[in-house]
Structure 1
Amino acid sequence: MSYKSEHERSIKDPDGFWGEQAKLIHWEKPFNKVLDYANPPFAKWFEGGLTNLCYNAVDRHLKDRPDQIALVAVSTETNLEKAYTFKELYEEVNRMAAIYKANGVKKGDRVLIYMPMIAEACFAMLACARIGAIHSVVFGGFASHSLASRIDDAKPKMIVTAEAGARGGKAVPYKPLLDEAITLASYKPEKVLIVNRGLTEFTTVAGRDLDYATERQKHLNDLVPIEWVDATHTSYILYTSGTTGKPKGVQRDTGGYAVALASTMKHIFCGNPGETMFCTSDIGWVVGHSYIIYAPLLNGMATIMYEGTPLRPDAGIWWELVEK
């Protein structure tokens, strides 16, 4: 079948086409309707179905490819590179989910993620999906006032951050920006979880701030059950840049999003399980959510998370990664 004929079919027979694409993911309970478009422009996809993004991205691969690489975190800023198999990713996501649960985060709660491009950011997103919490990732380059407006809108129970990112070989402190944003915001999150990378000094707020390494140690062997959610359950909120006014929070569902991503991996990117995908975006943007975190993993592929510029140590760095 050609791309053109499939594309035509998706327009002429959306129920037939998308009903078929839905087989690319696991449904804990089958849906009873492909599309309900009774209230345009709001579409409800796969109503009645129960699924989970984290299960589809991680757990379901444990049977066939537990020791295959799932995530490669590369930083040309800190000169660190670490690969995680699907089994190791599963363990890290469970630890992060256990930290959330221990701090009262449950289905429907929001978790704001203000992170550089490090593996823990991936764990934080997948752990939200695992327990049915809704993540709101804010691009690490945003200043305090932009962050504050997103805190007020999403009202996160917890914020996950790192003390610093790095750019061009210099540490970029995140923690002071976050502290200022929380001061500016009228809504105050209960907890702030900090991944300390040892890049800068920072201060902590007693009773609110948690150290990720300490918390992770408490939950090393914890396994957190999957929270099966309705296909129409919100998976995340992502804000428009706000350059043309107040940032608007876009909500993405779970089932339609998972099916759309799995379908693009098959029809557009022609990716196969066991292959590697490198998307050079940032998790603060929708392309990063979709093609750094969820889509490659849904498809049983390895994904590369890259921290650094395309010019460090030299302009050949991306091609070096491609070659590897």
Structure 2
Amino acid sequence: MRTRQLQSLLRSTKRNLVEFKELGGYSEIYKYSIENNTEFWEKLARSRLDWKEDFTQVSNSCFKNGSISWFADGKLNVFDNCVARHLPDRADQPALIYEKDEPGTEEFVTYAQLHSLVNRFANVLKSKKVKKGDRVAIYYPVSPLGVAAMLACAKIGAVHSVVFAGFSADALRPGIQISTENCRVVICADGTYRGGRYINLKSVVDQAIENLDLVETVLVGTRNPEAQKLTTGKDVDLDQALESASDNCESEPMNAEDPLFLLYTSGSTGKPTGLVHSQAGYLLYAAVTTSAVFDCQPGDKFGCVADIGWITGHTYTVYGPLVNGAVSLLFESVPSYPDPGRYWATVEKYNLTQFYGAPTAYRSLLRHSNEFIEKYDRSSLKRIGSVGEPINTEAWEWLHHTVGSSKVRIADTWWQTETGGNMITPV
């Protein structure tokens, strides 16, 4: 590794872990985190998160019996950490950029607007008797309302279970059933657009909940005003409900180890497998990795193109950028629509500072002419991320030299999530 590049990496990492400014750089911080694990995470938890009730114990882990807890006697609220605490300083800053499928139809949602929207959404859920500990199934495409649905659950202490809005009814139904008997509410949109094609999502929900008596209410949002979205007696027009709801709502103090969300596999290779993420430990991980790995600063424009139905979308489209006070891109379309330059046109249009995608998409795009890249200004980028599987050499070289103009570092996060190694690939 070239000396100047290593020094640049160390300075960037240290800048994003300012709590350890007395240490020399990345290697020293990493060594300290291993040798002083409790002190390391205690310092981060106190500096990165706002607590309603302070914790007295950092961790209590017994791997033999599977008992692992973090900050167990502390209380906080994830919504407050992601949105409320950024007011009033960032009230007029965009929190979300909604890049719809059709170019030129984007929407911006400020932190103040998101705060109001989530409060109204939370009150709608409470009016449907959703309370702390209840499960809420979300079958919503990446969009402001999809994000607001997740945050509204977090605000009142409900546990959200987001199912990728592309899975079939057979995949959606177990996700509702397995979320236990107290999943009475499903949130969905009438449909979504991908590559110029409208996809009806409400019909999938209707099939999934047929004869499923535990579901009492389906909150249906509008994506296509001409679509027939209310098709059963359980359906409620979400847009109308939000319009009439109050935007005053108290946040629920949550124990650090309370569940925040459930996330299930599609079940394509057997019974769906679920994973539970708790409140504080997950949010702290999202905050620190988004900051340190991607050099994400408050006000940065973070472009993760993962759907909110995936764990990457949960962490790096929703919770990670927002807890850091950044602007998060919500990308509804596909990388090749209307042409293979869509990603890079989006980078130029919003001056994105980070771009996070999948090797599969990168490999499909590198087959096309470089003109689809070079005609767009990508100089705003600080990081390009790769996630989901190992990135091959050809794709890495293409990202670094062609997309990043040999100036942008590549964060290969598969290496971290699958092997526990360093998430940053120095260049």
**Residue 63 of structure 2 corresponds to residue 36 of structure 1:** no
State the partner residue of 2:248: 223
- Partners in 2 of 1:164 and 1:75 — Cα distance? 13
Counterpart of 1:265 in 2: which secondary structure?
A: helix
State the partner residue of 1:194: 220
**Residue 14 of structure 2 corresponds to residue 11 of structure 1:** no
After superposition, give the CA deviation of every residue in 1:254-292 in whole Å (9 maximum; x if it has no partner).
000111111112321111101110101110000000000
1:188: Cα distance to partner?
2.5
- Partners in 1 of 2:139 and 2:296 — Cα distance? 30
Pair 1:55–1:171, CA change in 2 (3 A): same
- After TM superposition, what 4+ stretches of structure 1 lie above 6 angstroms from structure 2? none
State the partner residue of 2:130: 105
1:245: Cα distance to partner?
1.8
1:105: Cα distance to partner?
0.6
Q: What are structure 2's unaligned runs of at least 5 residues?
A: 1-23, 350-427
- Partners in 1 of 2:318 and 2:105 — Cα distance? 19
Contact 1:148 1:184 in 2 (8 A): no
Counterpart of 1:256 in 2: which secondary structure?
A: helix
Which has the higher relative contact order, 1 or 2, with Cα contacts under 8 A spaced 6 or more apart? Answer: 1
Percent identical across equivalent pairs? 37
Pair 1:170–1:199, CA change in 2 (3 A): farther
Counterpart of 2:276 in 1: which secondary structure?
A: strand
1:308: Cα distance to partner?
0.5
**Residue 351 of structure 2 corresponds to residue 322 of structure 1:** no
> What are the residue-to-residue correspondences of 1:74-113 with 2, within 5 Å?
74-77=99-102, 79-113=104-138
Counterpart of 1:296 in 2: which secondary structure?
A: helix
- The letter for the 1-side match of 2:34 is I
- Partners in 1 of 2:127 and 2:42 — Cα distance? 38
State the partner residue of 2:378: none
After superposition, give the CA deviation of every residue in 1:149-173 in whole Å (9 maximum; x if it has no partner).
1111014121000011122211111
- Partners in 1 of 2:250 and 2:33 — Cα distance? 35
- Partners in 2 of 1:308 and 1:320 — Cα distance? 13
Q: Which range moved further: 4-13 or 295-304?
A: 4-13
After superposition, give the CA deviation of every residue in 1:86-126 in whole Å (9 maximum; x if it has no partner).
10110111111110011111110111000112210011000
Q: Which range moved further: 50-59 or 62-71?
A: 62-71
Q: What are structure 1's unaligned runs of at least 5 residues?
A: none
**Residue 315 of structure 2 corresponds to residue 286 of structure 1:** no
State the partner residue of 1:300: 325
RMSD: 1.5
Contact 2:230 2:236 in 1 (8 A): no
Alignment partner for residue 139 of structure 1, among 164, 186, 196?
164
**Residue 206 of structure 2 corresponds to residue 182 of structure 1:** no
Counterpart of 1:268 in 2: which secondary structure?
A: helix
1:68: Cα distance to partner?
1.1
**Residue 162 of structure 2 corresponds to residue 165 of structure 1:** no
Between the two proteins, the alignment pairs up a number of residues equal to 321
Q: TM-score, normalization: structure 2?
A: 0.73
Pair 1:202–1:91, CA change in 2 (3 A): closer
